[in-house]
Amino acid sequence: MRLWLRELVLQALRNARGICGSHGQPPPLPVPQKIVATWEAISLGRQPVPEYFNFAHDVLDVWSQLEKAGHRPPIPAFWWVDGTGAEVKWSFEELGEQSRKAANVLEGACGLQPGDRMMLVLPRLPEWWLVSVACMRTASGAVMIPGISQLTEKDLKFRLQASRAKAIITSDSLAPRVDAISADCPSLQTKLLVSDSYRPGWMNFRELLWEASTEHNCARTRSQDPVAIYFTSGTTGTPKMVEHTQASYGLGFVASGRYQGRWVALTKSDIFWNTTDTGWVKAAWTLFSAWPNGSCIFVHELPRVDAKFILNTLSRFPITTLCCVPTIFRLLVQEDLTSERYQFQSLRHCVTGGEALTPDVREKWKSQTGLELHEGYGQSETVLICANPKGMKIKSGSMGKASPPYDVQVVDEEGNILPPGEEGNVAIRVRPTRPFCFFTCYLDNPEKTAASEQGDFYITGDRAHMDKDGYFWFMGRNDDVINSSSYRIGPVEVESALAEHPAVLESAVVSSPDPIRGEVVKAFIVLSPAYSSHDPEKLTQELQEHVKRVTAPYKYPRKMAFVSELPKTVSGKIQRSKLRRQEWENEKQPQKGPISH
């Protein structure tokens, strides 16, 4: 065990043996508070980052010892349900045992070596959390690469080739897509299937886990060793690989998860449900904020997003903390939340992020439940940048204030800090000292890494202004990314998919306002001469189905407009900004021409 934690844990065990002390003496400060306070101080930049750190060993295994010593309520560390009666509950001790077995599978059957990369493309199954922890335990730490289960063959091929992943673990639904492109991915050596059935060329993970030993020595990783790689949305081209370290994620989220004056406001008695897909960074945000605080992660398999389903789950289970994207809260407030059918007896705190929260959703949720919605803002490259933490006055429509240890400013194009009220680029100071809770780089892309900084600041690509009280107000994005129901969609990927259809001469894809999803994908299309007389309704449906086949289905354009030409610069570049501005300026005007599905 690391020296910096040894004394704290030994003190915990000593207190467990003599917790009562002498009559009349006040009880000692609960040791978990001391340990978490140490992690929080590092997270806030008040203490140096240790040279060695491993989340599995230094956080999860420590909580396992504290749990045995009676320093945690009798609630699980992980609680999974599928809605049909199946249930998995693990204490920290059981999580440790199962993840050590999984680490033995990764090192043994898969042969993962130091620095090897493994893609995790799983729905909300317990194995996702198990393998995530197992990757941290393996020799020198295997690097996990999460992906959403809607990835197409093209998406998988690009990600496997770019990352040079040695192994992939997935479920029955995605395995055929992997088989279709695996011959073009020479680095891919091992395919693990999470299933109760068998598939040629695949190893059955559940069977291997059952047979694996529980004895395993956790890797001794440095704080700056990589722990995860996330692919960006491919805003201006192909998706980039964002690398995070054991410390940037493992310690970077501790402060935002803490109870007193923090965003997620968790304690060791809390049960935290985040409805996000496992392929998005918010799943990692939950893992790295809940478990350091000793909280329980609750997971529902959620085969589909359904408002009544979510509300019934909140009524049935003792969930204390809820995180959903604003799109889901928009769906929830359309139900009668005051009905006797929905009784949230345990729910006390709600957070949201991933897209802008509109004031009307916040007000409807609060008026019907009595609970505030605390919005947070961050990126794949960062931890929490801005937030409305518990106890702070909320200004409706604002992203909140800067979240420590970040120094967040609004800057101009040269990196100069702008005064309150002026719109500019949201930026984080990275010089003279780069925050530890920050991405390492865009892997294999030094040009993009360098371009993300201006002067002393990292430029987020989002625009905002800051008021005199330090609250940030989101204005829009510098890039053309589309944020639909918290799914970040790069226009280039959709345009590339459309270009593969013979009907499309050229296209431009932008965001368009939508009352439920916030914004949706809209495609402006110039048709090739052979298709100019085709029925627009039928052609729209044909093109939508084509995009769903070529790329991830959630990226398809829900709106289309067939136009004679696209706005372009003198040099011939399509001006998406003009089309996007046209869409949003005409939001309240009747639309003619576009077809929406």
The dihedral built from the CA positions of residue 518, 521, 524 and 527, taken in this order, carries a sign that is: negative
Give the residue with greater pLDDT, 177 vs 588.
177
Task: Assess contact for 227 and 55: CB atoms under 8 A.
Answer: yes
User: For residue 489, what pLDDT is reported?
Assistant: 85
pLDDT over threshold 90, residue 326: no
**Domain boundaries defined on the chain:** 3-14+28-68, 91-220, 399-477, 482-596
Q: Determine the 3-state secondary structure of 38 from DSSP.
A: helix
Contact assessment for residue 490 and residue 500, using Cβ atoms and an 8 Å cutoff: no
Nearest 10 degrees: Cα torsion 99, 173, 285, 134: 20
- Please check whether residue 256 is in contact with residue 262, taking contact to mean a CB–CB distance below 8 angstroms: yes
> Which of these ranges, 215-224, 286-295, 488-497, 585-594, has the smallest mean pLDDT?
585-594
Provide the strand spans (E) within 346-479: 349-352, 373-378, 384-387, 401-402, 408-411, 424-429, 453-454, 457-466, 472-477
Dump the DSSP string for 487-516.
EEE-HHHHHHHHHTSTTEEEEEEEEEEETT
Compute the average pLDDT of residues 314-323. Answer: 97
Class of domain 399-477: mainly beta
Q: Point out the least confidently predicted range of 116-130, 348-362, 566-580.
A: 566-580
CA pair distance 278, 125, nearest whole angstrom: 9
Q: Which pLDDT band holds residue 188 (cuts at 50, 70, 90)?
A: very high
Residue 573: pLDDT band by 50, 70, 90 thresholds? low
Q: What's the pTM value of the predicted model, to 2 decimals?
A: 0.84
Nearest Cα neighbor of 125 from 146, 107, 108, 142 is 146
Structural class in CATH, domain 91-220: alpha beta
Give me the chain's average pLDDT, please.
Answer: 89
pLDDT band at 589 (very low <50, low <70, confident <90, very high): low
CATH architecture of 482-596: 2-Layer Sandwich (3.30)
Minimum mean pLDDT among 144-148, 233-237, 360-364, 450-454: which range?
233-237
pLDDT band for position 403 (cuts 50, 70, 90): very high
Question: pLDDT of 48-103, one tens digit each?
Answer: 999 999 999 999 999 999 999 888 888 999 999 998 889 999 999 999 999 999 99
- By C-alpha distance, which of 395, 323, 391 is closest to 352? 323
Give the pLDDT of residue 260. Answer: 63
